[in-house]
Amino acid sequence: MPDRFLFLLGSGRTEGNTERLARRAASALPMGTECRWLRLAELPLEPFADLRHQPGGGYAVPEGNAATLLEATLWASDLVVAAPTYWYALPAAAKLYFDHWTGWLRVAGLDFRSRMAGRKLWLVTVNADGPDESGASDLLVATLERTAAYMGMRFAGALVGRGNRPGEVSGDAAALAQAERFFLAGRGRPG
């Protein structure tokens, strides 16, 4: 499969710190790498209904925004979740996207899990921790590591920046430097 990066923007803010950091990292991808950017707030999903244990419970083929997100997810070789750390976890729109995976796993004939196996899952996040604090994004990183393992995917890495007010990530020299080599290093290429 060719390198095809899907960037899922999970922030409630456009052009926020996390998006800036993700775009900085994406700018270092090799020429010819296909990239798609989807803002989850612009593709709202219905609340997820867990039908797994209901009589006759099954999941239909997704429609509307869910179908758009499913198609894009299956298109990608590399799925990049670009979401700020909200309360030590994913923002609501990003969490809801992953909740819908529960249904996609059970759509007859879709074979979602086997089709996702071997793909790469990445995280770009920014949190408001100060320079002498750490760990605010640890649970978020662990969530995506476990998601990748469950799906037979490879968790390729987390790029974690610091910033609270708009634009503050631009002052995080370490995160900006890491962004320049993030995707190359995570793909096993020299960075």
CATH number at residue 54: 3.40.50.360
Q: Position of tokens 């430097």?
A: 177
**Could you give the number of structural domains in the chain?**
1
**Contact, 19 vs 26, CB < 8 A?**
no
**Contact, 172 vs 161, CB < 8 A?**
yes
Q: Is residue 191 part of a domain?
A: no
Domain membership of residue 80 as a residue range:
4-186
CA distances in angstroms from 72 to 6, 56, 111, listed in the order given: 7, 29, 15
Q: Is residue 159 part of a domain?
A: yes
Q: Which of 1, 78, 87 is nearest to 37 (CA)?
A: 78
Q: Is residue 65 part of a domain?
A: yes
pTM for the whole thing?
0.93
Q: Which of 46, 34, 32, 47 is nearest to 7 (CA)?
A: 34
**Contact, 94 vs 69, CB < 8 A?**
no
How do the pLDDT tens digits run along the chain, 191 residues long? 789 999 999 998 899 999 999 999 999 999 999 999 999 999 999 999 988 888 876 899 999 999 999 999 999 999 999 999 999 999 999 999 999 999 999 999 999 999 999 999 999 999 998 666 678 999 999 999 999 999 999 999 999 999 999 999 999 999 999 999 999 986 654 33
Q: For strand 78-82 and strand 34-39, is the pairing parallel, antiparallel, or unpaired? A: unpaired
Q: Is residue 160 part of a domain?
A: yes
Residues 3 and 86: their CA atoms lie apart, in Å, by 30
Q: Is 81 buried (19+), middle (13-18) or exposed (0-12) by CB count in 10 A?
A: buried
Starting at the edge strand that comes first in sequence, how are the strands of the sheet with 34-39 ordered? 34-39, 4-9, 78-82, 120-127, 154-162
